[in-house]
Amino acid sequence: MNRAEDRLNFRADAAKCLRCGLCVKVCPGRIIRSGHDGVPYVPEKLERFCLGCQHCMAVCPAEAVSVHGINPSELPETLPVAERSPEKLLNLMQTRRSCRFYKHENIPAEKMKKLMEMTAWVPTGCNSRGLHFCFADDKNVMDAIRTKVSANLQKIVKFIPPFNSFVAGYKKKILAGDDIVFWNAPHMVVVCVRKNAPCRKQDPFIALSYFELYANALGLGTLWCGIADGAIRLMPSVRKMLKIPAGYKTGYVMLFGEPEVKFPRATMQEPYGISSAGI
Ligand SMILES: Cc1cc2nc3c(=O)[nH]c(=O)nc-3n(C[C@H](O)[C@H](O)[C@H](O)COP(=O)(O)O)c2cc1C
């Protein structure tokens, strides 16, 4: 269900409502009004300006606000800051490495389910929610895609002269059937984006950043894969295998799977340029 296009069905339970006005304050569409009794409501004519962000429901300290028929008491609660462990999150960011060596096996079904479910919380510009995630969630599917891409590449490289040792090396690998595109990964996710989404450039990258961190937190390895992205864009037959829905185009690609090589420590990184606009 696309809640952004669904009827808003804004409900405030007068018995629970604290009349604090927080839902009115946080609404980015400014469509919530305070009633004569202090209980908030949304005038029907303003409903169409709802972004579908659900901030009104998430901010309510009394679980009094509901939208789309959702019961707020069933939603996960925000952890207190003291329990969030920014150190662990930073450690994950520092020790995450690009993974190019995978076990050639499916990841456990439970992890795949968690990864798929997590995607629902990826933010999108204007809350367009115009994303679609095409998963190669079975290594046999991934192998079929690999074989197709490899066969297509072999046809293409035959016509490319080995004009330097780099190109010659890759040409040799492709003709030998090496998987230079997918690194023998058992899985990939191709994030697709609605062609008219307002932030169609940014949304897929945000999605994969979320995906990468969560996958690594689950002990998986990941690789942002520009070469796979290029191959998929070039090959309509592969896009067909991925079952990209009509009206969507590919955004970017990430490989993932159980890592074969583990990195016991972080790298040392030079800081990027950082400047302060202050005095
Ligand atoms: C947008 C993007 C595209 C990438 N494409 C590829 C790719 O096609 N093949 C590959 O082996 N690595 C690819 N990488 C991985 C980078 O080479 C890698 O992030 C870099 O070497 C630093 O290593 P680290 O990720 O372990 O810190 C890509 C990374 C990013 C962010």
Distance of CA 229 to the CA centre of its chain: 15
Which part of the chain has CATH 3.30.70.20?
Answer: 11-74
Helix (H, G, I), strand (E, B) or coil at 58: helix
Tens digit of pLDDT for each residue in 179-216?
A: 999 999 999 999 999 999 999 999 999 999 999 999 99
pLDDT at 29: 95
Nearest CA to ligand 1 atom 17: 98
The torsion angles phi and psi of 278, rounded to 5 degrees, stand at -75, 175
The predicted pLDDT at position 1 comes to 45
Is the CB of residue 254 below 6 angstroms from any atom belonging to ligand 1? Answer: no
Centre of ligand 1 to C-alpha 220, Å, is 16
Evaluate: CB of 142 within 6 angstroms of ligand 1. no
Confidence check: pLDDT of 177 > 50: yes
Predicted TM-score (pTM) of the model is 0.94
Mean pLDDT of 38-60: 96
CATH number for the region 93-257 comes to 3.40.109.10
Instruction: Please tell me the distance between residue 223's alpha carbon and the centre of ligand 1 in angstroms.
Output: 6
Query: Could you give the angle at the alpha carbon of 208 between the alpha carbons of 94 and 84, nearest 5°?
Result: 50
In the chain, residues under CATH classification 3.40.109.10 are 93-257
Substitution site in 93, 153, 223 for ligand 1 pocket (most atoms within 8 Å of beta carbon): 223
Is ligand 1 within 6 A of the CB of residue 226? Answer: yes
* Residue predicted with more confidence, 279 or 183: 183
Q: Is the pLDDT of residue 5 over 80?
A: no
Ligand 1 centroid distance, CA of 98 (Å): 6
CATH 3.40.190.150 assigned to 11-74: no
Element (H, E) at 93: helix 86-95
Other C-beta atoms within 10 Å of 84: how many? Answer: 11
Mean pLDDT, rounded, of the chain: 95
pLDDT in tens, 121-155: 999 999 999 999 999 999 999 999 999 999 999 99
pLDDT value of position 6: 66
